[in-house]
């Protein structure tokens, strides 16, 4: 069972405001520690008892102390704020929370707030509708926006300078996936699959570059081993060991091998993949969203098909990818251990995240099969087999011909 709570904290009128704010903060932290999944906070500007005047500001204050819960505004009273200010501040808060944010809105119910903001006699419901429409248009549109309604006119047409970023309002996370859902395929499951394919195709050049760097390193391994054998009789602290390192570096430079060439492409793609991982684990739109046998993409797969698919796809990836620099026994252990660990992790994660992970793995398997059939792949497998045979005294372990 998932638990959440909403609070519009009420405190004695004569209590120190600093104390009440700390008490409210501690309540949210306690809820997070107790396993609550989400928490919402309200706001009033003209109420001394309910004295959180900005729920967004309060949530930003406690964001770093909340480790698991989603946080939500409960609510932003749209008639009392300019839509452009709401769009910019909420986008910033969404990034601060890594997407663990629910955007709660309303026309506001406290009449003294309405009076002080000058809309007591206005049609606040109409202001509310126009306000949220304007916020969404800002997030979905491009500057200078040019949004004109009954209550607000929003544009940066006269002052925008794109070369320095002036006149541009930040957008929240999740927009690419939402664009696919709204304009290409109206199902969150298929949208996740399509975006996973796009991301993997975009990352394909880095994967090929890693393979090329690995192959170059394999080609000079025999010469590197000769150099290491030459200095093997010296202790690690012997200054002549530095000469060994210089010879190895000269060899790598001469053959055009960059020892970090296989790592840099990985460093480029990991932030993108990690961001996608965090986003899928937190977006509220996946709640009750179905796909094929999955009734809710935010909940674990009830049939555990996706976690099992993660295990199988990771095993195939380990099995098909040549690893000539790894000890065969260690390689065999990793081929079973890593899939088991990730399968266990995915067992209770949201099925939307498992869908992304399994799909990405199977794309990786297909890519590796194609690479293995290329001249580069064949050479890598041959070298891997030779090194494995050498390490095991002629017996080849886990080498696929």
The first and second tokens of residue 212, run together, are: 């090329």
Specify the pLDDT at position 274.
63
Where does the pLDDT of residue 270 fall: very low under 50, low under 70, confident under 90, or very high at 90 and above? low
Residue 188 CA to residue 279 CA, distance in Å, equals 13
Specify the pLDDT at position 228.
81
Q: What is the SS3 string spanning 384-396?
A: HHHHHHHHCCCCC
Note the pLDDT tens digit of each residue in 2-21.
Answer: 789 998 889 999 999 999 99
Q: What is the largest CA-CA distance in the chain?
A: 91
Domains in the chain, ordered, with CATH? 4-173 (3.20.20.30), 183-220+255-391 (no CATH)
DSSP assignment letter at 261: T
SS3 11: coil
Where does the pLDDT of residue 206 fall: very low under 50, low under 70, confident under 90, or very high at 90 and above? confident
The first and second tokens of residue 367, run together, are: 């890519």
Contact 360, 342 (CB under 8 A): no
Which strands, in side-by-side order, build the sheet including 38-41? 4-7, 38-41, 70-73, 101-102
Altogether, the residues listed in the chain come to a count of 401
Q: CA-based Rg of the chain, rounded to a whole angstrom?
A: 28
SS3 46: coil
**Which of 301, 366, 314, 302 lies closest to 340, judged by CA?**
314
Least confident of 135-149, 185-199, 222-236, 336-350: 336-350
**Which of 187, 182, 47 lies closest to 110, judged by CA?**
47
DSSP assignment letter at 185: -
| β-bridge mates for residue 70, sequence order | 38
Residue 134 CA to residue 79 CA, distance in Å, equals 12
Phi and psi at 110, nearest 5°, equal: -90, 115
Residue 291 CA to residue 185 CA, distance in Å, equals 12
> Does 27 have pLDDT greater than 60?
yes
Residue 21 CA to residue 5 CA, distance in Å, equals 17
More confidently predicted of 303 and 342: 303
Note the pLDDT tens digit of each residue in 96-155.
Answer: 887 788 899 999 989 999 999 999 999 999 999 999 999 988 887 888 889 999 999 999
Q: 106-140 burial string, b = 16+ CB within 10 Å, else e?
A: bbbebeebbeebebeeeebeebbebbbebbebbbe
Contact 32, 68 (CB under 8 A): yes
pTM for the whole structure? 0.54
């Amino acid at each position: 069972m998932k638990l959440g709570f909403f609070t519009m904290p009420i405190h004695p009128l004569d209590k120190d405001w600093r104390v009440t704010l700390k008490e409210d903060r501690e309540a949210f932290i306690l809820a997070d520690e107790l396993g609550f999944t989400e928490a919402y906070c309200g706001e009033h500007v003209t109420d001394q008892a309910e004295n959180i005047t900005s729920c967004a500001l309060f949530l930003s204050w406690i964001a770093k102390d909340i480790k698991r819960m989603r946080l939500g505004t409960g609510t932003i009273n749209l008639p009392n704020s300019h839509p452009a200010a709401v769009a910019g501040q909420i986008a910033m808060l969404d990034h601060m929370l890594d997407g663990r944010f629910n955007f709660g809105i309303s026309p506001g119910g406290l009449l003294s707030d309405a009076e002080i903001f000058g809309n007591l006699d206005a049609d606040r419901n109409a202001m509310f509708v126009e306000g949220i429409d304007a916020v969404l248009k800002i997030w979905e549109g491009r500057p200078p926006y040019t949004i004109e309604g009954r209550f607000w006119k929003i544009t940066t047409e006269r002052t925008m300078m794109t070369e320095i970023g002036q006149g541009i309002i930040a957008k929240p996370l999740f927009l690419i996936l939402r664009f696919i859902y709204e304009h290409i395929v109206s199902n969150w499951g298929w949208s996740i699959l399509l975006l996973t394919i796009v991301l993997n195709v975009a990352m394909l050049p880095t994967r090929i570059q890693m393979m090329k760097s690995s192959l170059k390193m394999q080609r000079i391994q025999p010469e590197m081993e000769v150099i290491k054998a030459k200095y093997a009789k010296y202790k690690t602290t012997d200054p002549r060991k530095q000469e060994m390192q210089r010879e190895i570096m000269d060899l790598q430079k001469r053959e055009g091998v960059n020892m970090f060439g296989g790592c840099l492409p990985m460093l480029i793609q990991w932030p993108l993949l990690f961001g996608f991982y965090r986003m899928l684990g937190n977006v509220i739109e996946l709640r009750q969203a179905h796909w094929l046998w999955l009734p809710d993409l935010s909940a674990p797969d009830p049939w555990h098909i996706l976690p099992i698919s993660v295990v199988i796809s990771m095993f195939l990836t380990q099995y098909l990818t040549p690893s000539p620099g790894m000890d065969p026994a260690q390689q065999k252990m990793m081929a079973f251990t890593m899939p088991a660990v990730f399968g266990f992790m995915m067992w209770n994660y949201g099925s939307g995240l498992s869908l992304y992970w399994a799909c990405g793995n199977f794309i990786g398997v297909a890519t590796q099969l194609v690479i293995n059939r290329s001249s580069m792949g064949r050479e890598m497998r041959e070298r891997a087999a030779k090194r494995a045979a050498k390490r095991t005294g002629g017996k080849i372990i886990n080498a696929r011909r």
